[in-house]
Amino acid sequence: MPEIDIIKLSPVLHSPVRIGIMSVLITNIEADFNFLKKSTGATDGNLSSHLSKLEKLGFIKIEKSFSGKKPRTTCSATTKGTKEFKAYINVLENIIQTTKGKKN
C-alpha cells in the first residue's frame, strides 16, 4: 500500500468544529455567531475559542456590531483561510484516492 502523508493535514483545521466553521464560511459570504453555533453544535464558549484561534491565524475575519441593542458577531473566511481550507480538502482527497480500493 502506498504511504499516506497524513502529516500534510493542517493541525489547525483538523478539528470537527473548525472544519464545520470553515465549511459554513466557504459556502457563505458570512455567518453570524448563532448560525455557526447551530451549524456546528458547539457551545458558546467552545465556538468562541475556535473562532478566536482561526482569527488569530488569519483564517477568518470577525466583525462585532450591534443590531439595535443586541451585540452581533459576524464571521467571514479570509483569502488565506479559503486557500488553507481548500488545501486541507485536497490532502483529504489525495488520501482517499491513494487508498481507494485498497484493503489492509
What is the reported pLDDT for 46? 96
**How many other β-carbons are positioned within 10 Å of the β-carbon of residue 22?**
25
List domains and CATH numbers for the chain: 11-96 (1.10.10.10)
Q: Which residue has the cell 464545520?
A: 20
Percentage, residues of the chain above pLDDT 70: 88
What is the reported pLDDT for 85? 94
What is the reported pLDDT for 102? 66
What is the reported pLDDT for 34? 96
**How many other β-carbons are positioned within 10 Å of the β-carbon of residue 29?**
8
For residue range 5-41, what is the model confidence (pLDDT) as tens digits?
666 677 777 789 999 999 999 999 999 999 999 999 9
**How many other β-carbons are positioned within 10 Å of the β-carbon of residue 17?**
20
What is the reported pLDDT for 12? 78
